[in-house]
Amino acid sequence: MIERRPFATLGRFENEWLSAHYHFSFADYHDPARVDWGALRVWNDDRIRAGTGFPPHGHRDMEIVTYIRQGAITHQDGLGNEGRTVAGDVQVMSAGRGITHAEFNREDEDTLLFQIWIQTARRGADPRWETRQFPTDARAGRLVPLASGRPGDDGALPINQDAAVLGATLAAGCEFTHPLAPGRRAYLVPARGRVSVNGVTLETRDGAAIQGEDKLVLRALEEAELVMVEVG
What topology does CATH give the domain 2-231? Jelly Rolls (2.60.120)
Q: pLDDT averaged over the chain?
A: 97
pLDDT 10s digits, 64-74: 999 999 999 99
Contact between 48 and 114 (Cβ < 8 Å): no
Question: Residue 124 and residue 50: Cα distance in Å, rounded?
Answer: 35
pLDDT of residue 147: 98
Instruction: Report the percentage of the chain scoring pLDDT > 90.
Output: 98
pLDDT-derived band of residue 225, with 50, 70 and 90 as boundaries?
Answer: very high
Mean pLDDT of all residues in 125-142: 95
Task: Say what the pLDDT of residue 212 is.
Answer: 97
Question: Rounded to 5, what percent of the chain is helix, strand, coil?
Answer: 5, 55, 40
Tell me, what's the pLDDT at 216?
98
pLDDT band for position 226 (50/70/90)?
very high
Residue 152 is predicted with a pLDDT of 93
Using pLDDT thresholds of 50, 70 and 90, give the confidence band for residue 40. Answer: very high
Query: What 3-state class would DSSP assign to 95?
Result: coil
